Structure 1
Amino acid sequence: MAVVEELLPVTSRSALLGILLMLLSVLYFFSSRSRSQKKEKEPPGPKPLPILGNLLHLDLKRPHLSLLSMSKQYGSVFTVHLGPRKVVVLSGYETIKQALVNRAEEFENRDLNPLFTEYNQGYGILFSNGKNWKTMRRFTLSTLRDLGMGKKGSEEKIIEETCYLREVFEQFKGKPFRTSEPVSYAVSNVISAIVYGSRFEYTDPVFIDMVTQAKENIRLVGSASIQLYNMFPWLCSWVKNRKRIMINREQFVKEVTRLAGKLQETVNPQDCRGLVDYFFVRQQKEEESGDRNHLFHKNNLIYTVTNLFAAGTDTTAATLCWAFLLMAKYPHVQDQVQKEIDRVIGGRQARMEDRKDLPYTNAVIHEIQRIANIVPMSLPHTTTCDVHFQGYFIKKGTCVIPLLTSVLRDENEWKSPNTFNPEHFLDDKGQFVKRESFLPFSAGHRVCVGESLAKMELFLFFTSILQHFSFTPPPGVSEEQLDLTPAVGLTLSPCPHEMCAVVRNA
């Protein structure tokens, strides 16, 4: 200032001083405002380490349990750093409903981590965004409805498959066996009948490979090494599970391409056999219209079918495996279910219209879904814009994890959240009660496209199998020794186990 004072007259010095003071005041105002905004609006969370973030706070085999524990400390909206990446976690029924349902458009995008990006390449339903996602989801929903999803059409396909599954169970003659393989084949065949228009034999080696590859990939996606790869993509050369996932994908895509190609040769627009036929008919219409940028091309067909097959098989099959395991674990519940089935249905085939007359059985199925907690962290979302939510600021493009396990185990919503208790879905008169906080299929714009089909499958498979079989632990194993610890994976399936399906003399 001494130099300035020597060069400028008094009035100029005063004016310059005033300008400097004004600039300093403005800078201070904005910097303090920025600091206060950052402190006020960013969701709280554990302090991250450089590069590692909150990696040391997480059990990568059971990340949903780590996040659930954090929610008790930091609240229903909090921040966790997965490596260098900032992620916002939503916990509890009210918070997740507010985000995914009440403000669905702001939270509707799918987070495309390195593996999902590499695997689906932005096509299909599960791992795409924008126009592609909206177009494929709209087409898939309308087509599934045309094919009878949730109606008589799909009911007949499921009933047919229950007969094949019963035959497999009978072959073991009450001796211990693993339920996971035949159950997966049965559920996969329901999807196959809807997608391709026909089912496969359980002994078909190609079909067995497709089911095995889909199940293995879902398991590997939830492994610790894949989670680390998504945090630090430069690790790709050292992650064996990533290589295995991509090999499975290549083989699966090759087979879907072959099956779709065979159907294309005989497609009849007047008599579509399944979703693939509907896709080819729509593709032809788009091409005839002259739209060169239409989305009904090979990649979207392949990855839409892949998404439906993998997601539709794994979640429903895992739930049924939990169902049979829980019936062996809690025989008094199994007895009550069977008594109700015997009284209402007798020896005839169960139908969806029977559900209203089977309140206890319906409650047990819902409680199985709740306690099984198949997709505990849902699939991650991202915000489509800057969001002000519950007093916090969430930047556009932020990864958001709706912690579904916090909904299904919400202490404010369930009387005994960590206990298998069918009474959660029954009133004082023993009638079935719907619960708003029952969200196993997620909610909002990204809710499972096959929700009504899955509900139908669970009811018809469960009632049909319990009508004919009672489940017991293997010889030498007590009910108390049956392990309910889930296996590691993107979804929570029971650990590999054997049990006995004993034919009933009802």
Structure 2
Amino acid sequence: MGKLPGPHNTIFQSVDVIHEFIKKRINMHKETLDPSSPRDFLDCFLIKMQQEKDVPQTEFHMLGAVNTTFDLFGAGTETVSTTLRYGLLILLKHPDIEERIHKEIDSIIGRNRAPCIEDRSRMPYTDAVIHEIQRFTDIIPMGLPHKLTRDIHFQGYSIPKGTTVYPMLSSVLHDPKQFKYPYSFNPGHFIDENGKFRKNDGFMPFSSAFMLILSKKKHHGRLPPGPMPLPFIGNMHQVKINDLIKSLVHLSKKYGPMYTFHLGSRPTVVLCGYDILKEALIDHAEEFSGRGEFPAVQMYSKGNGIVYGTGERWRQLRRFAITTLKNFGMGKRSLEERVKEEAQYLIAEFRKSEGKLFDPTFGFSSAGSNIICSLVFGNRFDYRDPEFLNLLYLINNSWHLMSSTWGQLLFVFPKIMQLIPGPHRKIYKNYLKLGAYVAKRLKMNKETLDPNNPRDFIDCFLNKIQQEKKHTDSHFNYETMLKTTVNVFFAGTETVGSTLRYGFLILLKHPEVEEKVQGEIDKVIGRNRNPCMDDRSKMVYTEAVIYEILRFADIVPMSVPHTVTRDIEFRGYTLPKGLNIMPLICTAQYDATKFKNPSSFDPAHFLDENMEFKKNEAFMAFSAGKRICLGEGLAQMELFIFFTTILQNFKLKRLMDPKSIDITPESSGLGNIPRPYKLCLIPR
């Protein structure tokens, strides 16, 4: 047809005109490009072209830039405009529907402000009309042709690689099994009996998940059921990206404690509830011990280090770290003395506030960080040290960004988000700065190393590298030392600091808990000596409060993603090696079968009928199984001593009604981030 005359030839002419327009825009961008401040998609593509200019088979070249931009420009322009044109035509046909939409708009939005996307969840009828417009108009009725990427056995037939497949989307959008009146325009297709919006698995106006399904059958074993994914975005259209965890928990009510969810194009099995988390992480600890994809950190670590490593390297690093940290006092009285000493530095710092309001964030972070610094670097820092404060800022800022909407988007769409400007790009930059500082400390230690008298974790790692230098396949090398040290420094700083911040916010909300803890402190410890770990067993209420803070605050609610280390049959399904697993630790910590009032802060969750401390098997604040936090014992020691020392010396002054204090997280992603607040401490 390309050689025959006819109106179809205008298609080729139009494409050429648009291509020339795009090339002109690309050249304009090249002339004004600032690689450190990309303005848009074209800038990011040009930067990627420069980065891969020496890669022989790269897909990032001028033709790729033109064609990709053409695809985005064409699809993003025509689909929405065509749907709007068709939709308004339908409303001309159905004035009754227009009238109901107007009433809902007036009720929810009014006439004095512009609509926003947050209105959508409160406008079920309007949402149903928009979905029905997309279903009924069916603007791409047969989808774009697909092609099989390999030979496959599908529904009893062998289909060879290269076969063209036409997914007839219209047959799904007009399926009488899915829609009661498939050939009529009826918003009721998306409204339940209570007048609420309901989704429908047959809704596929944005192409189908056909190729995903084929791929799943071929490559992903037999996975548990879950919501129907769409190409590229997976199931992300079915969740709130700024409240991902709550959305995933909600889906478990429909699909059960184990279901398949597509994070973009990545199939992931989500685990919800104590029973299945125990079965996976503890009873099948080895099979579920792989480290899953976590792009925010893996851009820096590249699979190296103790937290984000995997396989034999990770096992050797973990054994080495546990042994080395024990040798430097972790779990011993010698380290307890360091923690007690640091608690006094923290009290002295807090006294400088002189009863005035202050932000405790960096005080709490400094105390926790100084303990890990003494183990890793061999020294502590003054709380006002500018370099130390900058390191704490880098860690705190990265933690906030990982838990933000930008961080969630990076988690789901890593390749695209790495090309898009935004605050999420600071995570990688922050890690580079942390790595530069650690590299400087490694150099200092190497220049002053005495192999017979190691001073800290770094010295021991340097010795281990020297011992294994003849082993060409050794996992102990400079790069691993750098990444592991950054991992330990980050984790040891942020977890304790965040827990203390959340804990004291909770105490502001619950003055009766503060009063009972201080009563127990006065009875067991008094005012004339410092708290110590021997006091812990005699302070059952305080211990219960600390455990309940860890449970309720739940600062790492979904754990870091796992993978399956080998093919495994699990609960009737075949989970293949390498499959991403998302263990929602929060669903154990908030399991209503294990905690009487899971959504309330209640220290009684860890007290028996005789008011003695009792552990709870569903407590997983430090994760579980092979990936359990190796610093759990140290963190528990720090929390007890810091918590009791502060409350021994100060009383919290509340400047507002405790009932009005909001203790829900400011954001919830990798971490639950407490809302910003200020403390007012009055000496006791």
TM-score (normalised: structure 1): 0.89
Amino acid at match of 1:321: R
Q: Which one of 610, 613, 618 corresponds to residue 429 of structure 1?
A: 610
Amino acid at match of 2:519: K
The Cα of 1:157 is off from its aligned counterpart by: 1.2
The Cα of 1:40 is off from its aligned counterpart by: 11
Q: Does 1:353 align with 2:557?
A: no
Q: Which residue of 2 aligns with 1:262?
A: 444
Q: Which residue of 1 aligns with 2:683?
A: 503
CA contact (8 A) 2:508 2:658 kept: yes
Amino acid at match of 2:365: S
Amino acid at match of 2:427: I
Amino acid at match of 1:356: S
Q: Which residue of 1 aligns with 2:347?
A: 166
3-state DSSP of counterpart to 1:343: helix
Q: Which residue of 1 aligns with 2:514?
A: 334
Give me the whole-angstrom Cα distance separating, in 2, the residues matched to 1:266 and 1:370: 43
Q: Which of structure 1's runs of 4+ aligned residues deviate more than 6 A?
A: 26-31, 37-40
Q: Does 1:283 align with 2:465?
A: yes
Q: Which one of 428, 433, 453 corresponds to residue 246 of structure 1?
A: 428
The Cα of 1:168 is off from its aligned counterpart by: 1.3
Q: Which residue of 1 aligns with 2:597?
A: 416
Q: Which one of 456, 479, 504 corresponds to residue 324 of structure 1?
A: 504
Amino acid at match of 1:481: S
Give me the whole-angstrom Cα distance separating, in 1, the residues matched to 2:636 and 2:382: 24
The Cα of 1:358 is off from its aligned counterpart by: 0.4
Question: Residues 135-174 of structure 1 correspond to what in structure 2 (within 5 A)?
Answer: 135-174=316-355
Q: Does 1:483 align with 2:654?
A: no
Compare 347-356 and 214-223 and name the one that shifted more: 214-223
Question: Residues 184-223 of structure 1 correspond to what in structure 2 (within 5 A)?
Answer: 184-223=365-404
CA contact (8 A) 1:60 1:223 kept: no
Give me the whole-angstrom Cα distance separating, in 1, the residues matched to 2:299 and 2:280: 28
The Cα of 1:30 is off from its aligned counterpart by: 8.5
The Cα of 1:27 is off from its aligned counterpart by: 9.7
CA contact (8 A) 2:510 2:658 kept: yes
Give me the whole-angstrom Cα distance separating, in 2, the residues matched to 1:440 and 1:463: 20
Q: Does 1:307 align with 2:487?
A: yes
Q: Which one of 490, 510, 524 corresponds to residue 344 of structure 1?
A: 524
Give me the whole-angstrom Cα distance separating, in 1, the residues matched to 2:592 and 2:416: 40
The 3 A distance-change label for structure 1 pair 28 and 342 is closer
CA contact (8 A) 2:293 2:580 kept: no
The Cα of 1:323 is off from its aligned counterpart by: 1.3
Q: Does 1:391 align with 2:578?
A: no
Give me the whole-angstrom Cα distance separating, in 2, the residues matched to 1:268 and 1:51: 54
Give me the whole-angstrom Cα distance separating, in 2, the residues matched to 1:112 and 1:458: 30
The Cα of 1:41 is off from its aligned counterpart by: 4.5
Residues 455-492 of structure 1 deviation map (CA, whole Å, 9 limit, x = unaligned): 1111111111111112233x3x2111212121325211
Q: Which residue of 2 aligns with 1:131?
A: 312
Amino acid at match of 2:434: F
Residues 301-326 of structure 1 deviation map (CA, whole Å, 9 limit, x = unaligned): 11111111111111111111111111
Q: Which residue of 2 aligns with 1:402?
A: 583
CA contact (8 A) 2:296 2:411 kept: yes
Q: Which residue of 2 aligns with 1:178?
A: 359
Question: Residues 112-127 of structure 1 correspond to what in structure 2 (within 5 A)?
Answer: 112-127=293-308
Give me the whole-angstrom Cα distance separating, in 2, the residues matched to 1:208 and 1:161: 16
Residues 425-447 of structure 1 deviation map (CA, whole Å, 9 limit, x = unaligned): 11111110011111100111110
The Cα of 1:231 is off from its aligned counterpart by: 3.0
3-state DSSP of counterpart to 1:86: strand
Q: Which residue of 2 aligns with 1:88?
A: 269
Amino acid at match of 2:465: Q
Q: Which residue of 2 aligns with 1:6?
A: none
Q: How many residues align?
A: 472
The Cα of 1:136 is off from its aligned counterpart by: 1.1
Residues 332-381 of structure 1 deviation map (CA, whole Å, 9 limit, x = unaligned): 11100111110001121111111110000000000010000110000000
The 3 A distance-change label for structure 1 pair 271 and 46 is same
Q: Which residue of 2 aligns with 1:5?
A: none
Residues 100-143 of structure 1 deviation map (CA, whole Å, 9 limit, x = unaligned): 11111111100134433311022111111112211111111111
Ranges in structure 2 where 5+ consecutive residues have no aligned partner: 1-152, 159-212
CA contact (8 A) 2:403 2:672 kept: no
Q: Which residue of 2 aligns with 1:441?
A: 622
Give me the whole-angstrom Cα distance separating, in 1, the residues matched to 2:499 and 2:154: 58
Q: Which residue of 2 aligns with 1:20?
A: none
Q: Which residue of 1 aligns with 2:560?
A: 379
Q: Which residue of 2 aligns with 1:7?
A: none
Question: What is the percentage of aligned positions where both structures have the same residue?
Answer: 39
Amino acid at match of 1:400: I
CA contact (8 A) 1:225 1:239 kept: no
3-state DSSP of counterpart to 2:672: coil
Amino acid at match of 1:495: R
The 3 A distance-change label for structure 1 pair 169 and 52 is same
CA contact (8 A) 1:319 1:493 kept: no
The 3 A distance-change label for structure 1 pair 355 and 62 is same
Q: Does 1:364 align with 2:523?
A: no
Residues 240-275 of structure 1 deviation map (CA, whole Å, 9 limit, x = unaligned): 234212221121111111112112222223322211
3-state DSSP of counterpart to 2:622: coil
Question: Residues 27-42 of structure 1 correspond to what in structure 2 (within 5 A)?
Answer: 41-42=222-223
3-state DSSP of counterpart to 1:424: helix
Amino acid at match of 1:429: N
Give me the whole-angstrom Cα distance separating, in 1, the residues matched to 2:621 and 2:345: 27
Q: Which residue of 1 aligns with 2:224?
A: 43
Amino acid at match of 2:341: E
The 3 A distance-change label for structure 1 pair 404 and 27 is closer
TM-score (normalised: structure 2): 0.67
CA contact (8 A) 2:498 2:555 kept: yes
Rg larger in structure: 2
Ranges in structure 1 where 5+ consecutive residues have no aligned partner: 1-25
3-state DSSP of counterpart to 1:415: coil
Give me the whole-angstrom Cα distance separating, in 2, the residues matched to 1:114 and 1:134: 21
Q: Which one of 258, 263, 271 corresponds to residue 453 of structure 2?
A: 271
3-state DSSP of counterpart to 1:61: helix
Amino acid at match of 2:250: S
Amino acid at match of 2:515: D
CA contact (8 A) 2:300 2:432 kept: no
3-state DSSP of counterpart to 2:670: coil
Give me the whole-angstrom Cα distance separating, in 2, the residues matched to 1:460 and 1:268: 33
Amino acid at match of 1:311: A
Q: Which residue of 1 aligns with 2:32?
A: none
Give me the whole-angstrom Cα distance separating, in 2, the residues matched to 1:385 and 1:280: 33
Amino acid at match of 1:150: G
Give me the whole-angstrom Cα distance separating, in 1, the residues matched to 2:240 and 2:642: 35
Q: Which residue of 2 aligns with 1:73?
A: 254
